[in-house]
Amino acid sequence: MDKKQIGFLKKDCADAASWSLRLLDELKNQKLLIAGGTGFMGSWIAEFIAFLNDNHQFNTSVVILSRNTDSFKDEKKHLATRSDIQFISRDIRNINELPPDISYIIHAAASPDNRNHVSNPIETIATITKGTDNLIDSAFKLLNLKKILYLSSGQVYGKNPIQKELISESDFGSFDCNKITAIYPEAKRLAEATCCAYSSQYKIPIVIARPFSFIGPYQSLSKPWAINNFINDALNNKTIRIIGNGEPIRSYMYPADLVVWILKILISGKINTAYNIGSPFGISLKDVAEKIVHIAQTNVNIDIKFNNNDSSHYVPNITLCENDLGLKINYDVEDTIRRSIAWFKLLPEASILE
């Protein structure tokens, strides 16, 4: 990463710290393990904690556990070379001993990329379910353990028969468990139930978060999600193609908000409670595409193909986090897209495409 990109991330971290320092005080002098820590969320947590250490004397250290830490070390040298960030290169399913002074664990191990879920469904299930089992088992031995945060998914809500504009933590629908597309959410549900079981039977302190949708730095535009494709097409002067009618409502949280929310739920979330993480500002895919074209200052066409009548909503109700944990949203839809495009424009062309 070059200086401009690092500067961009530092600016985001400074903005996040400007409103959240008092909320995160308990993180000071703690050692945090992030399982699956080389992905989008893990990278942001490492970035933000490094910033808090450098600028606000948090003295927090991070251990990143991941199957493959090499690409993280290559791409994020400014983090990988720090003394407050360490690495364990192991599969979460095989680990049996964690550094003994760990006080908090964030379990973020599982790719949300739906292409992987359908190509490697058994691996997907095993990583989520066996991985969760094994990580919590390993955490038994930690004398200083204060809490584990399990990062589940907003997808666990399934299809709700009554379509609500905002999905609350108790709004469970269903899905057809015999479909290949149900692999990921079903595994996530089982992992949540596993957390509940350990919490109940062995009193392990576990809290759950259900992330929805995000866009911003450390995300790849090659991911198969609408907004990522739209931005990729806009930045490459290609027509933005919307397969359906453009009516599905989605929301996107900017990662500088996300990282504060994750850390706050970790330290202050109630045991055995699940919290939605995401933006409550719903927007149709058609409007997302139009905003991207406007903000990116490009003339690309938007081709709505009307191939289906999907008008689903996937937007979280976040009042639980707002009321119980004092969290708030600092980036509306416009800010999120504007800041994201500014970031992606900083990347070399190959990085945008690959």
> Residue numbers of the site for another protein (CB under 8 A)?
114-115, 117-119, 179-181, 221-222, 224, 229, 232-233, 236, 238-239, 241, 243-244, 305, 307-308, 310, 353-354
Q: Which of residues 283 and 300 has its CB atom nearest to another protein in the complex?
A: 300
Minimum CB distance to another protein, residue 10 (Å) = 29
Among 185, 184, 206, residue whose Cα is nearest residue 194: 206
Which residue lies nearer to another protein by CB, 61 or 213? Answer: 213
Helices (H), 89-203: 114-119, 121-139, 183-202
CB of 236 to another protein, least distance (A): 6
The answer to whether residues 290 and 302 touch, using CB atoms and an 8 Å cutoff, is: yes
Question: Of 38 and 229, which has the nearer Cβ to another protein?
Answer: 229
Distance CA 261, CA 279 (A): 11
Rounded Cα gap, residues 177 and 258, in angstroms = 30
End-to-end distance of the chain based on CA atoms, in angstroms? Answer: 15
How many whole angstroms separate alpha carbon 17 and alpha carbon 282?
Answer: 26
Q: How far is the CB of 285 from another protein (least distance, A)?
A: 12
What's the residue count for the chain?
354
Of residues 23 and 158, the one with the C-beta less far from another protein:
158
28 vs 179, which CB is nearer to another protein?
Answer: 179
> CB of 108: closest distance to another protein in angstroms?
21
The closest alpha carbon to 35, from 98, 122, 116, belongs to: 98
Is residue 326 within 8 Å of residue 25, measured between CB atoms?
A: no
Closest to 47 in 3D by CA, of 22, 12, 73, 91: 12
- By the 10 Å C-beta count (0-12 exposed, 13-18 middle, 19+ buried), 225 is classed as middle
Question: Residue holding tokens 């989605």?
Answer: 250
Question: Which residue lies nearer to another protein by CB, 240 or 265?
Answer: 240
- Of the pair 303, 322, the CB lying nearest another protein is at 303
Q: Which is nearer to another protein, 60 or 111 (CB)?
A: 111
The residue among 89 and 181 lying less far from another protein, judged by its C-beta, is 181
At closest approach, how far in Å is the CB of 174 from another protein? 16
Q: Tell me how far, at minimum, the Cβ of 186 lies from another protein, in Å.
A: 15
Residue 344 C-beta: closest distance to another protein, Å: 13
> What distance in Å separates the CA atoms of residue 241 and residue 281, rounded to the nearest whole number?
23
Distance, CA of 241 to CA of 304 (rounded, Å): 6
Residue 90 neighbours by CB under 8 Å, 6+ apart: 65, 67
Q: What's the closest the beta carbon of residue 119 comes to another protein, in angstroms?
A: 5
Q: Least Å distance between CB 39 and another protein?
A: 18
